[in-house]
Amino acid sequence: MADNTSLTLEERFAHVKESLPTPSATLTTTKAHAEEKEAPKKPAPEPKVEDSMTRDLLKNKQVELNRREQELTRLQATIDGKLAKLQALEKRLQVMLNNAKETQDKKMKHLVDVYSNMKGKQAAQVLESLDEEISVKILAGMRGRKAGEILTFVRPDKAARLSEALTNMQLPFE
């Protein structure tokens, strides 16, 4: 055989083709040999990715995914921190609102006591000059007999409005 380096690709291909067995030779197999061929074959190993461009592309994508994952983790930590601050602030505000409500209730009870201890005519004069909402709250906090006594000294139109507001206040589900 001649030197392989001086042969052209076509000449090498022809030489390899000549060295292969003929189709009739491959058909003459024994029954045992045919059964061996029918035995389950192991799957061929997957070809390895040898292309450096593909490897670089995959590596770059992995780096980008890792960067994004780190960014998402950082953002999640930031959001969790802000959420914790907001929850703490909400608790503080709720405590402040409860304290303000308690203080307002105490002041209203004090006003109820003050007006309950006044003479009916004097309390009526003051209640007529107050905002109707406050007047209603004061009257609602009093015993019925005392509130009735005060309302007898209030102008009839104002007494009617206060009585109606008292009724609506006591029946909020209508």
Q: Are residues 144 and 174 in the same domain?
A: yes
Check residue 172 and give its pLDDT: 45
Check residue 22 and give its pLDDT: 61
Tell me if 14 is assigned to some domain.
no
Judge contact between 105 and 116, C-beta under 8 A: no
Look at residues 39, 66, 99 and tell me which one is the last residue of a structural domain: 99
Q: Say which residue the tokens 């209030």 belong to.
A: 154
Tell me if 107 is assigned to some domain.
no
Containing structural domain, residue 84: 51-99
pTM over 0.85: no
One-letter identity of residue 97 = L
Tell me if 174 is assigned to some domain.
yes
Q: Are residues 131 and 168 in the same domain?
A: yes
User: How many Cβ atoms are within 10 Å of 61's Cβ, its own excluded?
Assistant: 10
Tell me if 31 is assigned to some domain.
no
Q: What is the mean pLDDT of each run of 10 residues along the chain (174 residues)?
A: 60 70 54 55 58 85 94 95 95 95 90 90 90 90 90 91 84 46
Q: Are residues 90 and 140 in the same domain?
A: no
Tell me if 139 is assigned to some domain.
yes
Tell me if 1 is assigned to some domain.
no
Q: Are residues 81 and 123 in the same domain?
A: no
Structural domains counted in the chain: 2
Check residue 92 and give its pLDDT: 96
The helix/strand/coil state of 15 is helix
Q: Are residues 84 and 135 in the same domain?
A: no
Tell me if 41 is assigned to some domain.
no
Q: Are residues 124 and 171 in the same domain?
A: yes
Tell me if 36 is assigned to some domain.
no
